[in-house]
Structure 1
Amino acid sequence: MTRQKYFTNTPLSVLDLAPVNEGGSPAESFKHSVELAKKTEELGFHRYWFAEHHNMPGIASSATSVIMGHIASATESIRIGSGGIMLPNHAPLVIAEQFGTLESLYPNRIDLGLGRAPGSDQATANALRRTLNSSPEQFPQQLEELQAYFSEEGNRGVRAVPGQGLDVPIWLLGSSGFSARLAAEKGLPFAFASHFSPDYTIPALNIYRDNFKPLNVLAEPYAMVGVNIVAADTTERAKWLATSQQQQFLSITRGKPAKLQPPIDDIDAVWSLQEKNAIEKTLDSRSTIVGDKELVKEKLARFLSETNANEVIISSQIYNQKDRLRSYEIVGELMK
C-alpha cells in the first residue's frame, strides 16, 4: 500500500473531470483516468474524485458512480469519491444504494460528496429529473433522507440494500455560503469550489468554521479547497498548456460547451477583452496556479496559508495525457 505523504502537512487530492479531448472519445477519457489514478496513487495523493456534469461534450463523468467503480477496481489504496453527486437530480434512495454498493465492493475507500446544483442547464435538469418537484431548495431535506438510508433504522420502513448501516463519509460541496452553513450545522466535512469561485472562498470557509457544530462525524471542522494547477518543467510551457483550460471556460462563457481543445500559441486571438476579463476573474491566480515546480510550490503554499485548508483537491485540465501526468508528477514531488 502506498505510504501517504504530505506537502506542508496537507493532503493533496485529485479532481478528475474526465476530459474528452477534441478528436477523442469518452472511452479514451476513461483509459486516461485509469492511468492517472494509478499514477497519483503511486505518488501519494489522498483522494481521487469525479464530478457529475451533464450535456457537456468535454466532460465524460456524467455516470459518476459507474466511473468511480471502474477506477476503484484499477487501484488499491487511494480513496475514490464524487466531487460531487448533484443530489437534486436523484432519488436519495438510489444514491444510498449506489454508494452502498461501492462501499461494499471497496470498503473504507469511498467518499460521497454532494452538491445542490443541477450540474447542467435547466432543460437537461428537467430531462434528468422527469419532474419539477425536486429543486436545490429541497437539498437539506434530501440530505436528511439520504442520511436516514445509511442508518441502521432506514427511512420510514424503506431500507437501502446495500447501504443500510454502512459508514460512507458524506461531504458537502459548495461555491457559496449555503452549503458551508449546512455543512457546519450537520457537522460534516466541507469542500469549497475555490477553483472557479475564488472570491467567495474565505467568506465561505469562515461561515463553515464559525458555525460548526461537532456531532457524530467530526470533532472539529474539516475543509478542503479546490485548486487548478497546470505544472510543467518551464513556466512558459505551463502557460501554453493552460490555454486548453482557458478555451474550455471560453466555450462555457459563450454558452457553447465544447471538447477540451489543444493548446494554442495566442489565446488573445480567440477571445474579446470582456471575455478575457471574465475568465481571468474566474481563473484567478490565487486558486489557478500555472508554472514550473518552484512557482507552483510558492503559490500553493501561499494559498494554503491564506485558507488554512485541511486538504487541497487539484484539477488539471490539460489536453495531452503525457503533459497531464507530468503536471501531477511535479505536484507529487512537493509531497516528498
Structure 2
Amino acid sequence: MSGTTETKILHDIKFSVLDLAPVNEGSTPADAFRNSLDLAQHAEKWGFNRYWVAEHHNMPGIASSATSVVIGYLAAGTKTIRLGSGGIMLPNHASLVIAEQFGTLESMYPGRIDLGLGRAPGSDQNTARALRRTLGTTGDEFPQQLEELRAYFSENSRFVKAVPGQGLNIPIWLLGSSGFSARLSGRLGLPFAFASHFAPNYTLPALKTYRDHFTPSEHLQTPYVMVGVNVVAADTEEEAKRLATSQQQQFLSLIRGTPTQLKPPVDDMEQVWTPYEKSIIAEKLDSTIVGTKETVKARLEQFLADTDADEMIINSQIFDHKARLRSYEIIAEIMG
C-alpha cells in the first residue's frame, strides 16, 4: 500500500479509456478509427480523464499501429480529454522521432498529451525485426533509450535538438506487465501504469515494487498508479457474458498464433475452445469484469481495495459499437 490511512472509494479515483481501435470482422481500419473518435467524444462528455491508444503491429484486429497519428486524429475531434499512448513501444523507434512526434502533438494540443512508454515489441519477433531493422536490438536498451528521450524534452542544449519537443512538459508514464518497469519508474519518480488487464497475477507484486522503489522527483512527489481493467458491462448479466465472448475469441486467436479481426459474440464458447485453451484464457483474463452495473461496481470496488490504485484505465473489446458505448456509459454512471 502507499501509506494512506484512508481507504479509497471509486469516487476518489479517476477513470480513463484504453482503446485498441478494434477492427471488427467484416469491417476496415477506417471504420475502427471512426468508432474510436465517436467513443473518445462520448468519453469526454461522460467525464473520463484520459483516452489512450496502444501500439500493436501485424494484428488484423488492431488499427492503432501508427499510434501518434491516431492520437492526433482523436485530439482534433475532442476538446478537453487528455490523449496519449498506452503505449509507445520505445525499442521500435528512434528516441528523437518519438520526441518530435509527441512534441508536435503537444504543440498542437497543449496540456492534453500523455506519453506512455513500454519496452515490448507490441507484436511477434519477426515483426519486431522488421520494425527495428536489426537482429541485435532488444528491449534491454530501454533505460538508455528512455534517458535519451527525456533529454530531448529537457531545456538543456544538445547537439541534436528535438524541434518541436525541446522544453515541452509532456508527462511520461512507464507501462509494464512485470517488475522491470515498476522498479525503473519508481526509481525515476514517474507515474506507473500496470497491464493488469492481461497480467493479473503480477499486479500486486509489481505495484509493491513500484511503491517500494519510489523516489520523489520534480515530476511526482508521491507514487501514482494506474491499473488496466477489462470491463464488459451491459443491462443484463446474460448480455454482458455474451458480449465478452468477442474478447475471449481474440485471446484465443493469439494463443493459437493466428490473430484475427475482432469476432462477433457467440452463444457458447465451449464449442470454440478446448478445455486447455479455456484454462489459459481464464488465467490471462482473470481480472476481467463482466456483468451489470451492480456487478461491475462491486468488482471495481474490490479491485480498488486490492490495488489502492489512483486511476483505472478501462479496456472494452466489444464487437458491436453501440454495445461498447453502453458499456462505457455504465462505467460513467458508476463514476457518478
Query: TM-score range, shorter-chain basis?
Result: over 0.9
Q: Partners in 1 of 2:91 and 2:61 — Cα distance?
A: 23
Cα distance in 1, alignment partners of residues 248 and 272 from structure 2: 10
Query: CA contact under 8 A between 1:181 and 1:208: conserved in structure 2?
Result: yes
State the one-letter code of the partner of 1:178: F
Does the Cα contact within 8 Å between 1:154 and 1:160 map onto a contact in 2?
no
Q: Which residue of 1 aligns with 2:16?
A: 13
* SS, match of residue 12 in structure 2: coil
Structure 2 partner of 1:288 = 288
Change (3 A) 1:115 1:154: farther
For residues 210-221 of structure 1, the aligned pairs below 5 Å read 210-221=212-223
> Could you tell me how far 1:154 is from its partner in structure 2?
4.2
The worse-fitting range, judged by mean Cα deviation, of 252-261 and 128-137 is: 128-137
Residue 59 of structure 1 aligns with which residue? 62
Contact between 2:10 and 2:304, CA under 8 Å: does it hold in 1?
no
CA contact (8 A) 1:148 1:154 kept: no
CA distance in 2, matches of 1:134, 1:277: 34
Between the aligned partners of 1:141 and 1:279, the Cα distance in structure 2 is 34
Using the TM superposition, give the Cα deviation of residue 153 of structure 1 relative to its aligned residue in structure 2, in angstroms.
1.4
Q: Which AA in structure 2 matches 1:295?
A: T
Aligned to 2:208: 206
- Scaled by the length of structure 2, the TM-score of the pair is 0.97
State the TM-score, normalized to the length of structure 1.
0.97
2 CA distance for matches of 1:72 and 1:304?
29
The alignment partner of 2:23 has SS state of: coil
Q: What residue in structure 2 maps to residue 315 of structure 1?
A: 315
- The aligned runs of 1:1-336 (5 Å cut-off) are 7-155=10-158, 157-284=159-286, 287-336=287-336
User: 1:205 Cα deviation (Å)?
Assistant: 0.1
- Where has structure 1 moved over 3 Å in runs of 4 or more? none
Instruction: Give the secondary structure class of the aligned counterpart of 1:312.
Output: strand
Aligned to 1:3: none
What CA distance in whole angstroms lies between the structure 1 residues aligned with 2:130 and 2:283? 32
- Secondary structure at the counterpart of residue 85 of structure 2: strand
Instruction: Specify the SS of the correspondent of 1:228.
Output: strand
- What one-letter code is carried by the residue in structure 2 that aligns with 1:150? F
* Residue identity in the other structure for 1:304: L
Counterparts of 2:13 and 2:263, CA distance in 1: 32
Q: Deviations over 1:77-106 (max 9, x none)?
A: 000000000000000000000000000000
| Shift, 1:196, TM fit | 0.2
Does the residue aligned with 1:334 lie in a helix, a strand or coil?
Answer: helix
Deviations 1:278-312 (A, max 9, x none): 0000000xx20000000000000100010000000
Contact 1:181 1:207 in 2 (8 A): yes
Per-residue deviation at 1:130?
1.0
Give how far 1:131 is off: 1.8
Percent of aligned positions that are identical: 67
SS in 2 for 1:8: helix
Unpaired runs of 5+ residues, structure 2, are 1-8
Letter in 1 for 2:306: E
- Displacement of 1:145 in angstroms is 0.1
1:114-172 superposed Cα distances (whole Å, 9 cap, x missing partner):
000000111100111112343200000000000000001144x1100000000000000
Greater Cα offset, 81-90 or 146-155: 146-155
Q: Is the 8 A contact 1:8 1:301 kept in 2?
A: no
Which residue is 2:4 aligned to?
none
Q: Secondary structure at the match of 1:58?
A: coil
* 2:3 corresponding residue in structure 1: none
RMSD: 0.8
CA contact (8 A) 1:81 1:112 kept: yes
**Across the two proteins, how many residue pairs are aligned to each other?**
328
The one-letter code matched in structure 2 to 1:21 is N
**Offset from partner CA, 1:17-73 (integer Å, 9 cap, x none):** 000000000000000001000001000000000000000000000000000000000
Q: Distance in 2 between matches of 1:38 and 1:44?
A: 10
SS at match of 1:213: coil
